[in-house]
C-alpha cells in the first residue's frame, strides 16, 4: 500500500504511516522485569510461570488497559501532523509532537531522512506524496522569507478540503495575510508563535509563552475540536497560552524579540569571553549571546523585514546609544572645564538625556523625514 508512493521508508516512517506509535510497541511487547533472585527458583516453577506470562498482545482486547488507552488516543486526540520545513525549529517541534503520541510527517527542501527517523517521524520528500497522506494539520515551519514561495508551491488540491493550516513564524501579520491570500476558504487557519526555541526551551516548555490567533476556523464541532487538540500539545507541555491578534503580537514582539536578537547579535560581534570573575550581569549577556547565536541569519532578517515596527526599534536603539554617549561626554566636558577654569560655569550645561521619548520621531533633527 505504502510502496506505491515514493515515501522515503524507514522503520520509523513505517511506524508513523501505519499509525502505530513507538510507545505502544514498547509497552505491549515488554516482558516483566525479573530480579536476580528469581533465577534461584526451581526450574519447574520458573518454566511454569513463563508458560503463563502474557508476552505480546497482537489482537487488542477491549478490556485491556493498553488497548483502551490506544483506542482513546486514536479516536479523540491523535493527529496526523505534517511539518513543512524540517530545519532547526521544525525538528524541535516534531520531538514534542511525537512524544505526545501524534503521527508526524516531515517535509523539507533538504533531505532529513535520518533526522526524521531518529525522532520517530516519517520523512516525505515529495510534496504530492505528503499531501496525499491527508494530514489533519499542516504546520508551516520554513524561514520567514521563504514561506510565501513554499506555500504557493504546495499541491493544495491533494489535501482534504478541511485541512488545518498552522504557521509558527516569529512574525505574525505577514503569514496571516499570505495564508488568507493563498489558501482556499475551506481550509482552517491558525497563526501561532511559540516564543521559545531549541535553546531556551531545551529543558522544558513550562511557563514559556505560546501566542496564537484563530484566524479562520470553521464552525463545525470537528474543526473546533481539532484546533483545540492541536493547542493541547502546547498546553500539555505547560506553555503559557496567550491568545492575541497577529497585529498586537507584532507590536509587542518588535519591542521585545527584535531588540533581544539585535542586542545578542551586537554582543556576539564583540566576541565576549568568559572570565574567572564573571558577574551575574555578565553571565546574563553571555547567555543572551548563546540563546540568539544558534538562530539563523534568515530568522533575524525575517524579524526585521517582515515586522513593520522593527525599523523604528532599530532607530531607537541607535538614538539611545548616541544619547548615552552624549551623556558620558557631557560629564567629561564638565571635568575638563573645571580643570581649565577652576570652577564649573553657572548652571548645569551638561546634556542629560536619560530616557528616550516613546516615539523615535520626536528625537529626529528638524527637517528629517518622519
Ligand atoms: P530558519 O532559518 O528561519 O528556517 C529554516 C527552515 O526554512 C528550514 O527548514 C529550511 O529548509 C527552510 N527554508 C529556508 N529557505 C528555504 C527555501 N528557499 N525554500 C524552502 N525552504 C526553505 O530557522 P528555524 O529556526 O528552523 O525557524 C523556522 C521557522 O520557525 C521560522 O519561521 C522562525 O521564525 C520560526 N521560529 C523559530 C524559533 C527558533 O527559536 N528557532 C522560534 C519560534 C519560531 P531546509 O533546511 O530543508 O533547507
Indicate if ligand 1 lies below 6 Å from the C-beta of 295. Answer: yes
Pocket of ligand 1 contains residue 205 by CB under 6 Å = no
Q: Which residue of 8, 87, 166, 305 sits with most ligand 1 atoms within 8 Å of its CB, as the best mutation to test the pocket?
A: 87
Sequence-distant (6+) residues with CB within 8 A of 153 are 127
* C-alpha separations of 162 from 121, 149, 252 in Å: 23, 22, 32
Do 145 and 172 form a contact (C-beta atoms < 8 A)? no
Q: Residue 82: which of 135, 21, 147 has the closest Cα?
A: 135
Nearest atom in ligand 1 to the alpha carbon of residue 87 is 9
Nearest atom (ligand 1) to Cα of 294: 41
| Ligand 1 proximity of 175 Cβ (cutoff 6 Å) | no
Q: Is the C-beta atom of 211 inside 6 A of ligand 1?
A: no
The grid cell for 312 is 523604528
**Atom of ligand 1 at shortest range from CA of 91:** 26
Q: Give the span between the Cα atoms of 279 and 250, in whole angstroms.
A: 33
258 touches 316 (CB < 8 A): no
Task: Say yes or no: CB of residue 152 within 6 Å of ligand 1.
Answer: no
**What's the pLDDT band for 337 if we cut at 50, 70, 90?**
confident
Q: Name the pairing type of β-strands 164-167 and 137-140.
A: parallel
Note the pLDDT of residue 59.
52
Q: State whether residue 324 is helix, strand or coil.
A: helix
Integer Rg of the chain from CA: 28
**E strand spans, 101-259:** 103-107, 122-123, 137-140, 164-167, 188-194, 209-216, 240-243
C-alpha distance from residue 210 to each of 86, 174, 194, 294 (Å): 20, 18, 4, 20
Mutate to test the pocket of ligand 1, among 8, 82, 88 (most ligand atoms within 8 A of CB): 88
Task: State how far the alpha carbon of 366 is from the alpha carbons of 182, 317, 319, in Å.
Answer: 44, 19, 15
Top-confidence residue, 230 or 311: 230
- Does any ligand 1 atom lie closer than 6 A to the CB of residue 153? no
Residue 142 Cβ < 6 Å to ligand 1: yes
Pick the residue with more confidence: 329 or 68? 329
- Cα 200 from Cα 168, distance rounded (Å): 16
Position in ligand 1 atom list of the atom nearest CA 170: 34
What are the pLDDT digits (tens) for 210-240? Answer: 999 999 999 999 999 999 999 999 999 999 9
- Report the chain's mean pLDDT, rounded to a whole number: 82
| Dihedral sign for Cα atoms in the order 184, 79, 296, 239 | positive
DSSP string, 63-121: T-HHHHHHHHIIIII--EEEEE--SHHHHHHHHHHHHTT-EEEEE-SS--HHHHHHHT-
Higher pLDDT: 77 or 226? It is 226
The answer to whether residue 270 scores a pLDDT higher than 70 is yes
- Atom number, ligand 1, closest to the C-alpha of residue 169: 32
Q: Are 175 and 67 in contact (CB under 8 A)?
A: no
Mutate which of 89, 179, 198 for ligand 1 pocket (most atoms within 8 A of beta carbon): 89
Per residue in 134-164, pLDDT (tens digit) is 999 999 999 999 999 999 999 999 999 999 9
The residue whose CA has the least distance to atom 38 of ligand 1 is 197
DSSP 254: I
Number of H helices, E strands in the chain: 15, 8
Ligand 1 site, residue 9, Cβ cutoff 6 A: no
pTM of the predicted model, to two decimals?
A: 0.76
Amino acid at each position: 500500500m505504502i510502496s506505491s508512493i515514493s515515501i522515503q521508508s524507514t522503520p520509523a516512517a513505517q511506524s508513523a504511516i501505519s499509525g502505530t506509535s513507538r510507545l505502544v510497541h514498547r509497552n505491549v511487547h515488554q516482558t516483566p522485569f525479573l530480579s536476580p533472585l528469581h533465577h534461584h527458583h526451581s526450574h519447574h516453577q520458573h518454566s511454569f510461570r513463563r508458560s503463563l506470562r502474557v508476552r505480546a498482545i497482537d489482537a487488542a482486547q477491549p478490556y485491556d488497559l493498553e488497548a483502551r488507552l490506544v483506542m482513546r488516543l486514536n479516536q479523540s486526540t491523535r493527529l496526523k501532523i505534517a511539518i513543512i520545513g524540517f530545519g532547526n525549529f521544525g525538528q524541535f517541534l516534531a520531538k514534542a509532537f511525537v512524544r505526545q503520541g501524534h503521527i508526524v510527517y516531515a517535509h523539507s527542501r533538504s533531505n532529513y531522512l535520518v533526522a526524521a527517523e531518529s525522532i520517530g517521524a516519517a520523512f516525505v520528500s515529495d510534496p504530492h506524496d505528503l499531501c496525499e497522506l491527508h494530514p489533519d494539520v499542516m504546520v508551516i515551519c520554513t524561514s520567514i522569507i521563504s514561506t510565501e514561495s513554499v506555500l504557493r508551491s504546495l499541491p493544495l488540491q491533494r489535501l482534504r478540503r478541511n485541512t488545518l493550516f498552522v504557521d509558527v513564524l516569529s512574525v505574525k501579520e505577514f503569514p496571516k495575510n499570505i495564508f488568507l491570500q493563498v489558501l482556499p476558504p475551506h481550509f482552517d487557519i491558525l497563526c501561532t508563535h511559540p516564543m521559545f526555541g531549541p535553546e531556551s526551551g531545551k529543558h522544558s516548555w513550562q511557563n514559556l509563552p505560546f501566542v496564537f490567533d484563530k484566524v479562520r476556523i470553521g464552525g463545525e464541532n470537528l474543526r473546533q475540536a481539532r484546533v483545540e487538540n492541536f493547542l493541547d500539545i502546547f498546553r500539555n507541555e505547560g506553555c503559557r497560552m496567550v491568545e492575541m491578534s497577529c497585529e498586537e503580537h507584532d507590536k509587542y514582539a518588535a519591542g521585545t524579540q527584535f531588540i533581544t536578537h539585535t542586542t545578542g547579535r551586537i554582543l556576539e560581534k564583540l566576541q565576549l569571553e568568559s572570565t574567572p570573575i564573571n558577574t551575574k550581569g555578565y553571565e546574563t549577556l553571555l547567555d543572551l549571546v548563546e540563546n540568539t547565536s544558534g538562530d539563523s541569519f534568515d530568522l533575524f532578517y525575517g524579524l526585521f523585514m517582515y515586522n513593520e515596527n522593527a525599523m523604528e526599534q532599530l532607530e531607537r536603539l541607535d538614538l539611545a546609544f548616541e544619547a548615552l554617549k552624549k551623556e558620558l561626554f557631557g560629564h567629561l566636558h564638565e571635568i575638563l572645564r573645571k580643570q581649565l577654569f577652576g570652577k564649573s560655569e553657572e548652571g548645569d550645561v551638561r546634556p542629560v538625556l536619560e530616557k528616550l521619548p516613546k516615539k523615535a520621531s520626536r528625537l529626529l533633527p528638524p527637517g528629517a523625514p518622519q
